[in-house]
């Protein structure tokens, strides 16, 4: 592990952008549309403008890592999507660790292999695009951490006493350069949540994968994913976690949707709601519950909402 | 004397047979420290899945040992191995290519077929994992209740161009060729003399 790859938030984002390009996530806009909306609400409170573009497509990374297609497609798709952002002279902010990790990795490959850059540009030129490699690729959580003080200053609902178990998500931590924390033992999300009064819980299997990454939830659910998730939830429950947060809608699917199956198989109810970090920030900043889309969650949030003294419909 | 394999007995750069895309150029810097194995959630459940052993086999030109294995299909691609690797070896990109080789030889097709379906659907939608009609109703309801557009705002242009990229990169052809009829069975390898979880 190389310490130099960790970068301070002020160095990563030297000046706070007036406008960002928000990269649509397939899972974030379909499985948990409240995630995308929470981000928009929080950015609105910070006075940061959002640009999205209907011409942006899926990042295509997930199926690449399932070996369902060869890298040529994803290299071309990445070049095309990022070319769209470059035309607007903006930086790209992702809210899915998949979109973030795959775009970072594929852009890195493009920038360091002139032959691949040429190949991708030759293909997308047929559609009228050209990718130079200029746009910066960030995760929205990096903006949250960078603007910690500003966010806390706007908080209206204290998260006091809420025991939050953070799930970072592998594809953020696996980046080898320019991320906010040590992938081996990150703490910045806990630090952020503690600033809102929450009580972060460092449960034993905190860094264990959501298990769904790369399709094993489709092909090896019973043989690998469930025993793996059982360990994770067991340790979270023993540590008293009230709520788990993710920064990846894909992780959210694995952790939230699988809990009824774990209960059925192992006879143990975990009943730990799983939401996006941005949705929790939305709660703290007083975004109305109906703007956060918790109805899409398999494990209901009732206990958390009660603990925070909020009423449904507010 | 026990016969032992040595890398130098083999040709140079054998791992390029696996790393056809030149994505893992520093494989030879592997220290065999085993941090990848220690941090692997799959290895903790299935000890015969062993990234360090796989790297060693790939470097000595023995990647074929893994091609008909069940083990290689268990990797989550969580990249925990890459996160802790002292030499930043991107093992997941190697695993991706080992799986290509397996599929080329008709091993593990059953583990690719669900994604063929998803990929062909994504080719039409411009989005991955858009569900069938019934599931779409639920998404539309959630989105309506949030006060946003019923369906993610993706243009017809984006969908057409995404589809075109599948065709231009040979991906459509690659996907259409995949069929589980040619499936050859995979099994757990590396059983003898090793600790195996099942």
Q: What ipTM is given for this predicted complex?
A: 0.94
Among residues 133-192 of chain B, which lie with CB inside 8 Å of chain A? 139, 142-143, 145-148, 152-155, 157-159, 161-162, 164-166, 168-171, 174-175
Residue A27 pLDDT exceeds 70: yes
Q: Calculate mean pLDDT across residues B43-48.
A: 90
Q: State which residue of chain A sits closest to B156, comparing Cα positions.
A: A55
Question: Looking at the domain that runs over B14-110, which CATH code has it been given?
Answer: 1.10.1060.10
- pLDDT tens-digit readout, B128-172: 989 888 889 999 999 999 999 999 999 999 999 999 999 999 999
State whether residue A121 sits within 8 Å of chain B by CB.
no
Token pair 């706070």: residue: A16
Of residues B46 and A259, more confidently modeled: A259
By three-state DSSP, how is residue A203 classified?
Answer: coil
| pLDDT above 60 for A164 | yes
Confidence of residue B190 (pLDDT cuts 50, 70, 90): confident
Range A170-196 average pLDDT: 92
Mutate to test the interface with B, among A41, A67, A120, A208 (most CBs of B within 10 A): A67
Q: What is the pLDDT of residue A217?
A: 84
Closest by alpha carbon to A99, among A107, A90, A88, A111? A107
What domains appear along chain A, each with residue ranges and CATH number?
Answer: 3-140 (1.20.1050.140), 156-307 (3.40.50.11810)
Do the beta carbons of residue A258 and residue A211 sit within 8 Å?
yes
Q: Where are the domains of chain B?
A: 14-110, 113-177
pLDDT, position B121: 95
Instruction: Give the chain B residue nearest A182 (alpha carbons).
Output: B83
Please say if the pLDDT value at position A3 is more than 50: no
Q: Which residues of B touch A95 (CB under 8 A)?
A: none
**Interface list for A 235-264 with B (CB within 8 A):** none
Q: Choose between B193 and B15: higher pLDDT.
A: B15
Nearest to A290 among B96, B145, B164 (CB): B145
Shortest distance between the Cα of B159 and any Cα of chain A, in A, equals 7
Phi, psi of B12, rounded to the nearest 5 degrees: -70, 150
Give strand ranges (E) for chain A: 19-23, 49-51, 92-94, 137-139, 163-166, 199-200, 243-246, 274-276
State the pLDDT at residue A5.
Answer: 79
Q: In what side-by-side order are the strands of the sheet with A199-200?
A: A199-200, A163-166, A243-246, A274-276
pLDDT for res B189? 85
By the 8 A CB rule, do A133 and A117 touch?
yes
Provide φ and ψ at A247, rounded to 5°.
Answer: -130, 30
DSSP codes, A159-198? -TT-EEEE---HHHHT--SSBSS-TTS--HHHHHHHHTT-
């Amino acid at each position: 592990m190389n310490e130099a790859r960790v970068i301070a938030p002020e160095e990563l984002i030297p000046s706070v952008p007036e406008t960002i390009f928000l990269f649509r996530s397939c899972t974030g806009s379909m499985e948990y549309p409240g995630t995308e909306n929470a981000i928009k609400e929080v950015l609105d409170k910070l006075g940061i403008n959002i640009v999205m573009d209907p011409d942006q497509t899926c990042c295509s990374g997930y199926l690449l890592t399932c070996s369902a297609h060869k890298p040529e497609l994803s290299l071309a798709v990445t070049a095309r999507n990022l070319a769209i952002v470059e035309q607007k002279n903006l930086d790209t902010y992702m809210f899915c660790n998949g979109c973030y990790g795959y775009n970072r990795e594929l852009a890195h490959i493009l920038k360091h292999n002139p032959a691949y850059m040429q190949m991708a540009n030759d293909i997308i030129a047929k559609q009228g695009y050209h990718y130079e490699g200029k746009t910066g690729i960030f995760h929205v959580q990096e903006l949250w951490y960078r603007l910690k003080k500003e966010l806390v200053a706007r908080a209206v609902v204290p998260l006091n006493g809420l025991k939050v178990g953070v799930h970072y998500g592998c594809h953020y931590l696996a980046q080898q350069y320019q991320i906010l924390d040590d992938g081996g033992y990150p703490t910045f999300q806990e630090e952020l949540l503690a600033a809102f009064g929450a009580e972060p819980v460092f449960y034993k299997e905190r860094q264990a994968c959501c298990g769904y990454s790369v399709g094993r939830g489709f092909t090896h659910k019973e043989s690998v994913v469930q025993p793996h998730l059982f360990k994770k939830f067991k340790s979270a429950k023993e540590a008293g976690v009230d709520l788990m947060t993710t920064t990846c809608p894909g992780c959210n699917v694995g952790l939230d949707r699988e809990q009824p199956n774990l209960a059925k198989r192992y006879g143990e109810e975990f009943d730990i709601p799983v939401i996006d970090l941005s949705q929790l920030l939305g709660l703290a900043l007083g975004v109305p519950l109906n703007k956060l889309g918790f109805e899409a969650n398999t494990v209901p949030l009732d206990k958390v909402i009660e603990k925070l003294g909020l009423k449904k419909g507010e | 004397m026990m016969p032992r394999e040595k890398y130098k007995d083999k040709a140079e750069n054998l791992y390029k047979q696996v790393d056809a895309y030149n994505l893992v150029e520093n494989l030879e810097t592997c220290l065999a420290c085993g941090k990848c194995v220690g941090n692997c959630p799959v290895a903790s459940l299935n000890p015969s899945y062993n990234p360090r052993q796989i790297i060693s086999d790939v470097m000595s030109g023995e990647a074929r040992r893994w091609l008909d294995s069940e083990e290689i299909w268990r990797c989550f691609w969580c990249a925990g191995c890459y996160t802790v690797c002292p030499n930043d070896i991107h093992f997941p990109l190697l695993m991706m290519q080992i799986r290509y080789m397996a599929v080329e030889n008709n091993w593990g097709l059953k583990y690719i077929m669900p994604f063929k379906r998803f990929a062909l659907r994504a080719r039409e939608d411009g989005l991955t994992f858009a569900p069938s009609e019934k599931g779409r109703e639920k998404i539309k309801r959630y989105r309506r209740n949030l006060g946003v557009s019923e369906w993610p705002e993706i243009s017809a242009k984006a969908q057409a161009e995404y589809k075109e990229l599948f065709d231009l990169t040979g991906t459509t052809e690659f996907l259409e060729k995949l069929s589980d009829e040619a499936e050859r069975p995979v099994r757990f390898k590396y059983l003898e003399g090793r600790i195996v979880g099942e």
